[in-house]
Amino acid sequence: MGNDFYQNLDEIRTNIERNIINIGIGERCFINNTIVDKNCRIGNDVTLNGGKHIENTNTKLYTVKDGIINRKKRRYPSRRIYSV
């Protein structure tokens, strides 16, 4: 995973104060069978659990093809589970 730009420490602190998700993957995340695009913003304690148990689908947040979740360029708030 890479980014087109990075946040400096002041931007990170400001985002934390304003409850804005920083660029990257948060703490204590579980990501399995998932494609994560660059410039992602995934909060803390998020679970993205792909696998053969998931049917192919296309939603506003993600697409699933052959059990692989491809998350779209959106923000994923903290403490969420995305396992369809």
pLDDT of residue 11: 95
Cross-strand pairs, 65: 68
How many helices, marked H, and strands, marked E, lie in the chain? 1, 10
> pLDDT confidence of 76, banded at 50, 70, 90?
low
> Residue holding tokens 């980014």?
3
Q: What is the pLDDT of residue 59?
A: 86
Q: What CA dihedral angle connects 24, 45, 75 and 25, to 10 degrees?
A: 10
Query: Tens digits of per-residue pLDDT, 24-66?
Result: 888 999 999 998 887 888 888 989 899 999 899 998 878 899 9
Measured distance CA(43)–CA(65) in Å, rounded? 24
